[in-house]
Structure 1
Amino acid sequence: MELSEPAVRDRAGEYADSEPLYDVERQHVETVARTFAGDEYGRRDAQWIVRWYFRRYLGDYPDGDRREREEAFRDNDFGDVVDALDAAIEAIRATDGDALDGDETADESIAALSGDRDVDAALSALAALDGVDVAVASGFLQFLAPERFVAVDRRTWRVLAAAGELDGPYPDPPSVADYRRFDVACRSVMERTGVDAWTLYRALWRSFSVLSDDSTAPEDA
């Protein structure tokens, strides 16, 4: 599995031609950040992302599990949803390095410069909601900052692992620390290929089809 710039751009283009949800996804990529930054959004706007996370599998995700998660999210008090979104937005708006005050250890300074603290806070705020775990929370981050974050799931993880960008099988469910590892791998590919996170997500999702057709690919990659 290769994640060169031509391969990433080609597969992202194939995604647009082959995935039935592409048009509505693209619309949300363009509007979600502005919507949630304002005061005039409703429960359904937030529910869309939870529904998207599971329904993009087009029936391949267990229906009972999907319904349970969607119903759990609907049962959240809407004020709690707003508070979680506000906290996540505030966390990912922070400029890399803002957390530095001169008193950090070397490891803490590296974490602050890479944005790990912000990612932790955003994921934790969202994952506190019923029906949302770190994986679904990463879906929120993908739409809140589509140039920066890729949603983690078994498919995107497996492609990165097959390309040698990430070690180990998909952790089900992933922890915040697991997402940080995934995020570092995504950023490495983005920096090398010059693409943004939304482009990389489409390339990874589309690459899973290529990987699945390869009989030599390990099943638990």
Structure 2
Amino acid sequence: MALTADLVEEKLQKYPEIQPLAHAEEEHLEMLPDMLASGDYGWRDPEWIVQWYGRRFLGGMPNAERRALEDAYDDNDYEDVHAAIEAAVDADSAAEKLAHLTGLAGVDVPIASAFCQFLHPENYVVIDERQWSTLREYGELDAAYPSPPAVEDYERYLETYRAVAERCGCSLWDLYRALWVLAEDS
């Protein structure tokens, strides 16, 4: 089976039925890009991105692992978070954005990619094993999910994601939601 525009549209419609965080995600995708770009946000706004990364799996990520990730991020100073986000907003490439963000405690390439998604949802999407594996299952990626993914892995993944989204005539976020449903159906 191939990823087609019709399949993506069909699965996209089912996303809110299987992802209880769908409404909160939409709200944050609408408000966070401008808020983060302007620098007018509090501690909890970027912290939400870190929490979202693990909590969207609804128990699929072990609680201890998720809490450790969130606790590590909480070791950052607000000023450091603000500086990293400001630099990432201004950076031109995925590698530059990730370099600024991964300088924060508790922020690896996957978490940094989540930040990129909420900074610039039209150009970036989060990387995780679920999304990668679904793209691989549909013949879009050849290799198994690298654990942990490096910047180069994210760039290859993002290039593939953009190509599939363009071919299917959808946004990166729409493709993300459709792949989430496809993974759930597997």
- What TM-score comes out, normalization by structure 2 length? 0.97
Measure, in 2, the Cα distance between the counterparts of 1:71 and 1:176: 23
The answer to whether 1:83 aligns with 2:58 is no
**1:151 Cα offset (Å):** 0.6
Match of 2:102 among 127, 146, 149: 127
Q: Which amino acid counterpart does residue 5 of structure 1 have in structure 2?
A: A
In the other structure, the counterpart of 1:210 is 185
How far is 1:191 from its partner? 1.2
How far off its partner does 1:16 sit? 2.1
1:59-78 superposed matches below 5 A: 59-78=59-78
After TM superposition, the structure 1 = structure 2 runs for residues 181-192 of structure 1, keeping only pairs within 5 Å, are 181-192=156-167
Match of 1:197 in 2: 172
State the distance in 1 between where 2:39 and 2:3 align.
40
Report the count of equivalent residues.
186
Alignment partner, residue 147 of structure 2: 172
Q: Structure 1 residue 90: deviation in Å?
A: 0.5
Distance apart, 1:17 and its partner CA: 2.6
Task: After TM superposition, give the deviation of residue 181 of structure 1 in Å.
Answer: 0.8
Question: SS state of the match for residue 110, structure 2?
Answer: helix
Q: State how 1:86-125 maps to structure 2 within 5 Å.
A: 86-91=86-91, 94=92, 118-125=93-100
- Determine the C-alpha separation between the residues in 2 that align with 1:64 and 1:18: 24
CA deviation vs aligned residue, 1:111-142 (integer Å, no higher than 9, x gap): xxxxxxx1100011111111110011111111
- The one-letter code of the counterpart of 1:50 is V
Counterpart of 1:19, as a letter, is Q
| Whole-Å separation in 1 of the counterparts to 2:78 and 2:181 | 34
Q: Which has the larger radius of gyration?
A: 1
Aligned residue identity for 1:80: D
Indicate yes or no: 2:6 matched with 1:3: no
Alignment equivalent of 1:144, drawn from 83, 107, 119: 119
Percent identical pairs in the alignment equals 44
Asked whether the equivalents of residues 33 and 118 of structure 2 are also in contact (C-alpha less than 8 Å), the reply is: yes
Residue 172 of structure 1 and its aligned partner are, at CA, apart by 1.0
> Shift in Å at residue 9 of structure 1?
1.2
CA distance in structure 2 between the partners assigned to 1:190 and 1:40 by the alignment: 31
* Amino acid corresponding to residue 155 of structure 1 in structure 2: R
Contact 1:150-1:200 within 8 A present in 2 as well = no
**Aligned pairs (5 A) from 1:30-49:** 30-49=30-49
TM-score, scaled relative to structure 1 = 0.82
Could you tell me how far apart the structure 1 residues matched to 2:31 and 2:176 are? 18
Partners of 1:185 and 1:37 lie apart in 2 by 26
Structure 2 unaligned residues grouped into runs of 5+ = none
CA contact (8 A) 1:54 1:66 kept: yes
